[in-house]
Amino acid sequence: MNMNQLINMVMRRLVSRGINKGIDLAVNRGRQRPEQTPDERRDTRDARKTTQTARQRMSILSRFLR
């Protein structure tokens, strides 16, 4: 593995982690779980399932597009 591949691997991981944190923040609307009402918790759970499904579909799509 050369240096360019190593840098690309690390950068991909960091960007992916940052995107996931941003999505989680948006789903929670900036509020922690104890601050949420039961309805908000349910909405958050549903949104997380939706984002997980979207991530899986994007992963599958990217495999086909290679």
In this structure, are residues 7 and 15 in contact, taking their beta carbons and an 8 Å threshold? no
pLDDT at 47: 84
Contact partners, residue 51, CB within 8 Å, separation at least 6: 23, 27
pLDDT at 42: 87
pLDDT at 1: 76
Each of the 66 residues of the chain gets a pLDDT tens digit; together they read 799 999 999 998 898 888 888 877 777 776 776 777 888 888 888 888 888 898 888 888 888 877
Residues found in the chain: 66
Count of domains for the chain = 1
The answer to whether the pTM exceeds 0.75 is no
* Full residue range of the structural domain in which residue 34 is found: 3-64
